[in-house]
A = this chain, B = another copy of it.
Amino acid sequence: MTEMELPEKVPFDAALPLVTELMDRALLHSPEPAGGMMKHLAASRGKNFRAQLLLAAAADREGFVPRDALTAAAALEILHLATLVHDDVIDDSAVRRGRQSVQRRFGKKPAVICGDYLFCKCFLMTADLSRRYQDRFMTVARGMTRICMGELRQYEHNRDTSLSAAGYLRIIAGKTAALFSLALYAGGVLGGCAEKEIRLLARLGYYIGVIFQLEDDCMDYRSDPSTAGKNVKKDLSEGVVTLPLIFAIAKNPEIRGELRGFDLTPEERRAVAAEVCRLGGVDRTLGVAGRYYKKAVGVLGRLEDPEKRALLRPILEQVKLRRY
C-alpha cells in the first residue's frame, strides 16, 4: 500500500473523504490475485456510519480529528467489509450495496479468502496504532469475538420461528452492535478521552448499533422493489428471522404455516411481508428502536464534551431516520 501523507489533525468535515481515500488506497493497491475482488469492493460505497461515528467521537473541542482516528476509521470500515463478504457467503446473498456480492461474482471460495485477506489488511493498517495503544488491543479482540458469536447465533437460529425477542436482541448485540460499540470506543481512545467518557461512548455505540439493525430489519419488510441496492425481502428469502416477524408470530402464530419453511416465491414473500406489517410487526419493532433511541439520547446527554454531543447527534438521527 502506498503511504499517504496525512496532516496531524483535520476538521471533522474533511475527515470522511480522507478516510475513503485511505480505504481506496488499501483496496486498489492490492496485487493480483486479490486485486480484482478489491476493485469490485472499492467500486461500491456504503454510508460509512461506523467511520463517521469513530471520527465524531475522536474530535476535540474545536472539532478537529487526529490523524490516528483517520487510519482507525479506514481500518474499521475494512473490518466491516470483511464481515460483509463472509456474511454474504453465509447467507448466500447475491447483492451487496447495489452490486453483485463478491461470493456471487467471484465464487464462494474466493470470497472466504477475500474476507480473510481484508482482515489481514485491517491488521496491517492498524499495526502502528496497535503499537501505540497497546492496552486497548484486548478490548478490540474481544469485540471481534463477540461479532463472531453473534454470527454463529444468527446462523443457529436461521428459520427458527420460535426465536424470542430477547434471543434476537442477543444475536444483534454481537452481530451488529459490537462493531458500532467498537467504533465509538476507538474514537474515544484516539481522541484522548477520559475512561468514563470512553465507557459512555462504547455504550452509546451499542445502542446506535441496535437501532441501526432494527431499522434495517424494518426496511426489509417495508421496502418495495424499487429500493436501490437491496434484495427485496432479503431476510425472508434467506430464512433470517428478525424482530418484525417475531412480533407478527407472537400476534398470530398461524403465520408460521404461511412461511412454509421459508421456501417462498417472491410473490408469496411479498404477501407474508404485508401480513407482518398488518399484524404490527414493523410498528412494534420501530417502537423498540424508539426505546433504544431514548436510551441513546440519554447517554449522549451525559457526554462531557459538547463538541462530541454536537457531532454525534446528527449521526444518531441519520441512523434512526434513514429508512425508506
- Interface, chain A (partner B; CB < 8 A): 31, 33-34, 86, 89-90, 108-110, 112-117, 119-121, 123-124, 127-128, 130-131, 134-135, 137-138, 141-142, 144-145, 148-149, 151-153, 155-156
Contact = CB atoms under 8 A, between A and B. Distances in A.
A70 to B, nearest CB: 19
29 contacts: A33-B152, A33-B155, A34-B152, A86-B112, A86-B113, A86-B116, A89-B109, A89-B112, A90-B113, A108-B108, A109-B155, A110-B152, A113-B148, A116-B119, A117-B145, A117-B149, A120-B141, A120-B148, A121-B145, A123-B137, A124-B142, A127-B137, A130-B130, A130-B134, A130-B137, A131-B134, A131-B135, A131-B137, A134-B134
Contacts of A145: 117, 120-121, 124
B90 A152 contact: no
A149 B121 CA distance: 12
A141 B155 contact: no
Contacts of A141: 120, 123-124, 127
**A-B residue pairs, 10 tightest by C-beta:** A131-B134, A123-B141, A117-B148, A120-B145, A33-B152, A127-B138, A90-B109, A124-B141, A120-B144, A127-B137
A231 to B, nearest CB: 17
A172 to B, nearest CB: 15
A127 B151 CA distance: 23
A112 B147 CA distance: 13
